[in-house]
Structure 1
Amino acid sequence: MIDLWAPSADLGLGTALTTAFVLGIVHGITPDEHTWPITYSYAIGGYSTRRGLIAGLSFSLAFTVQRALASELAYLTLDHWFTASAHLNYYVYLIVGTAMWLGGRYVRGGHHFHLWRPRQTPLATDALRTPRPWMPLIHGFIAGWGVGAFALIIYTVLAPAMPGPALGWLPGALFGLGTTLVQAISGALIGLTAQRIGLPAEAIRRIALITAGRTLSWGGIVFIAGGLFGLLAPHWADLSIATGLHIHNLAHLGLAFILVMIVVMLIGVGSLIQQLLQWRHHRH
């Protein structure tokens, strides 16, 4: 019997690996600060189904490599340094936030960096650049070092359940592949949304890249602020609201959930809507 909420420590090999894969799917579906903001940013910046799919795959496969590596370290009992640190997530927020900010700077031109550029018309010529394929790869590997409920289950229950060191990496890898399945589909759907909004190709490209640039730039700043808040005021940062749901990422809503909502919904979706309205106003 698979228990995704609190799996036992005496699982068989097949049950442990199945649990890891299904947990990865749940991880990809539920609002997670280590996946949603970055996948959205690069998928919308691809402005096509294919590029969105590639962005989701690139991010998640790098995430998978990290989880497989960490799972092997956990089996070898070398994971104490990243499972015992109560503040590791906040350091990861700082690094991820910096990487996002730099990614946003690249998308928006790099040399003359402005977060908003409010005076430009929707189709003005500028230095917007499509994100490079290696960017979500780097983000995925960095973000994977964040430790939450899913990671702790992998490292403390599923990895030790493997019969030998040659298989210690498998729970992390299958968890990552479960997440990859969801993130690839969501990345493709986000890219398809950008492609099918019924505008000329150049307008789609500009709107998508401005949205991606803002999400990465402002999102990076939000993540850096979240990391600093967690390090400077950990007692406040650790506060959360219990929902009563036995689903990790939804059981308690706290700083991580706030980061997801601000970056994806407020900045990401908000920027997309604002750009669409601005373009339509310009057309009329």
Structure 2
Amino acid sequence: MISLSTLLNPPKGLPLLDILLISLILGMLHGATPDEHTWPITFSYAIGKYSTKGGMKAGFLFSLGFTIQRSFLTTLGFIGLAEIYQKYNLDGPVYLVVGIVMGIAGSYILRGRYLHLPIDKLLKSEHHSEKTGGIELHDVPLKMTVVHGLIAGFGFGAYASIITFVLAPQVPSVFYAPLPGVFFGIGTMIMQIIFGALFGNILRAKKLSEAEISYIARKTAGRVLYYGGIIFVIAGLLIIVFPIIDNFAIPTGNPIPNLDAIDIGFLLVILVVGLIGISSIIYGIREASKISKNDKAKVMKL
């Protein structure tokens, strides 16, 4: 049994199998704890698909892009080029780019109210839209989750530091260098698929019609991505201009990364998933109820 201390402070001279096992467990911890680069994206896309299968697919595709980037990152760690993360704070630029991509995806879903970009054509995917109460909403573009995963992978925290600077340099050769990143990504993927399934079924807990669930799900996904994207952009710009903001942290006493402090990342999760996500669901349910009543009133008049 590997202790928490060993996981967070791996010793030198570990065999390859131990390195990969620790990377996998760290990835699972990363996927299970509130991380600003995973939860807001998985939540948005998973709830937008409002099903177990759709939620799991959202978690899988996001983690796929994330895993590809992490394998690249641990390769850089092995050959010594990842030191850029120790010299420069990339959190601001990463938040900024993540926020822009979130905003684009959100505006696509909420076409007619915000900037519309033909993401379906760019990704060569089918065009799906649905009108509810005269409001046109587009289907959640799941393929965008891969893009999110690739970008989010450039974010750097405690878990990334361990696999990049401690575990990756210990593998036998450069050919094995991507493996810690791959196993870390797989661990993250396992937990994101589980959480994606849970997020995707949130709306199923309330007795609503299929049309109402579809409307609420797409509205919620669009709002979380759009307004959450704005928050990420603001956070990114503030950190770029005032880097000291990124050092803000109130220790919690919990040794597990992502739970060890109330910091910018934790606050982003609370704001995007907690505040915007929950309020969007509540507001969406009220909207769907009004639309249903109006539709019933029209039928009664006929």
What TM-score do you get using the length of structure 1 for normalisation? 0.92
- The reply to whether residue 102 of structure 1 matches residue 111 of structure 2 is no
- The reply to whether residue 200 of structure 1 matches residue 202 of structure 2 is no
- Of 90, 95, 98, 2:92 maps to 90
Alpha-carbon distance in 1 for matches of 2:230, 2:166: 35
**1:117 aligns to what?**
none
3-state secondary structure, aligned to 1:177: helix
**1:44 aligns to what?**
47
Work out whether residues 49 and 195 of structure 1, in 8 Å CA contact, stay in contact via their aligned partners in 2. no
**2:157 aligns to what?**
148
Alpha-carbon distance in 2 for matches of 1:131, 1:277: 21
3-state secondary structure, aligned to 1:98: helix
Per-residue deviation, residues 120-173 of structure 1 (Å, max 9, x unmatched): xx9423221112231101001100110100101010011011111111111010
The count of corresponding residues between Structure 1 and Structure 2 is 276
Alpha-carbon distance in 1 for matches of 2:42, 2:77: 27
Any gaps of 5 or more consecutive residues in structure 2?
116-130, 294-302
Larger Rg over CA atoms: 2
Shift of residue 40, structure 1, vs aligned partner:
0.3
Alpha-carbon distance in 1 for matches of 2:244, 2:175: 40
AA at the equivalent of 2:76: L
Which stretches of structure 1, 4 residues or longer, exceed 3 Å deviation after superposition?
A: 277-284
- CA root-mean-square deviation: 1.9
Work out whether residues 101 and 218 of structure 1, in 8 Å CA contact, stay in contact via their aligned partners in 2. yes
Alpha-carbon distance in 2 for matches of 1:212, 1:258: 19
Any gaps of 5 or more consecutive residues in structure 1?
115-121
Q: Identity, % of aligned pairs?
A: 40
Residues 69 and 236 (structure 1), Cα distance of their counterparts in 2 relative to 1, 3 Å cut: closer
Alpha-carbon distance in 1 for matches of 2:220, 2:139: 12
Per-residue deviation, residues 180-228 of structure 1 (Å, max 9, x unmatched): 0000111112112234432111111110000000000000000011111
**2:260 aligns to what?**
251
Work out whether residues 66 and 145 of structure 1, in 8 Å CA contact, stay in contact via their aligned partners in 2. yes
Residues 135 and 244 (structure 1), Cα distance of their counterparts in 2 relative to 1, 3 Å cut: same
Shift of residue 73, structure 1, vs aligned partner:
1.6
Alpha-carbon distance in 2 for matches of 1:54, 1:125: 29
Residues 92 and 85 (structure 1), Cα distance of their counterparts in 2 relative to 1, 3 Å cut: farther
1:104-123 alignment runs, 5 A limit: 104-109=106-111, 111-113=112-114, 123=132
AA at the equivalent of 1:192: N
- Greater displacement, 236-245 / 209-218: 236-245
Alpha-carbon distance in 1 for matches of 2:173, 2:90: 28
Alpha-carbon distance in 1 for matches of 2:13, 2:206: 51
AA at the equivalent of 2:236: G
